[in-house]
Copies of this chain bind each other. A is one copy, B any other.
């Protein structure tokens, strides 16, 4: 970690009574810093605000967040900024004292965006179903931790299915399938994180009159796809060149929506 601010004050400690630690009662955002600027800042802040509203966590002033981000980034040209927002501190028990939110901004070194295709593994750990929290980038991430533990060393990301066997997402990324001219992505109404880059891809599809279809997808759809893409704020939009243990090979050129969206991601 390069530096961090806790409620605006330089430091790397939080109260053990913080509800983020006690219950995972909070949200986070992970932003790429490229050429000294946070990428997709407005989208990240908009998602954070919408998620705060859904959980009843007070959203900090966006000007304050922006100033703290600028202070932390300083002269760093390339880095990762993580914003954690929790429901603040309270005494023991699930009831909250509504003491406001805790803001934790931290900056990490980063090799910067890569554009090489990914080798991925289909993981055995299945995501649970949780409609009331689905889509949110909340701090309850034990499923992802356990999934990451089984990712082979030679895989760049993992494919996660849900407990019904439906395609869900990567460990820290969303998944898109290309079938001929169509782009498909799993619905996130029962599990998964609604990624900022995922939304950008969908918006790009709308703009280009080639809408991405949100639908139920299965492992067989993955293996039948002409091309696969993983998206996240740090990965950007990456094609897959191999699925470990599967006789799958990508065909086709990169979809024009993905080409167009790629130019809008990881750009300062």
Contacts and interface: CB of A to CB of B under 8 A. Distances in A.
Contacts of A13: 13-16
B12 A15 contact: yes
B142 A172 contact: no
User: Which 9 pairs between the two chains have the least Cβ-Cβ distance?
Assistant: A128-B130, A24-B24, A140-B140, A94-B148, A23-B141, A13-B13, A21-B21, A92-B108, A140-B142
Nearest to A171: B94
Interface string A125-150: 11011111100001111111111110
A191 B23 CA distance: 16
A142 B138 contact: yes
Interface of A: 1, 4, 6, 12-25, 30, 55-56, 80, 82, 84, 86-87, 91-96, 104, 106, 108, 125-126, 128-133, 138-149, 163, 171-172, 191
A143 B133 contact: yes
A145 B20 contact: no
Contacts of A80: 92
A94 B146 CA distance: 9
B94 A141 contact: yes
Number of identical monomers bound together in the oligomeric complex: 2
B1 A129 contact: no
A14 B18 CA distance: 10
A189 to B, nearest CB: 12
A80 B92 CA distance: 9
Given A6-B16, A23-B145, A128-B129, 14 more contacts: A1-B17, A4-B16, A12-B16, A13-B13, A22-B141, A23-B24, A23-B141, A23-B142, A25-B145, A94-B147, A95-B148, A125-B132, A126-B131, A130-B163
B104 A16 contact: yes
A70 to B, nearest CB: 19
Contacts of A19: 145
Given A21-B21, A56-B149, A133 B129 contact: no
A109 B126 CA distance: 40
Contact of A94 (B16, B18, B56, B144): B144
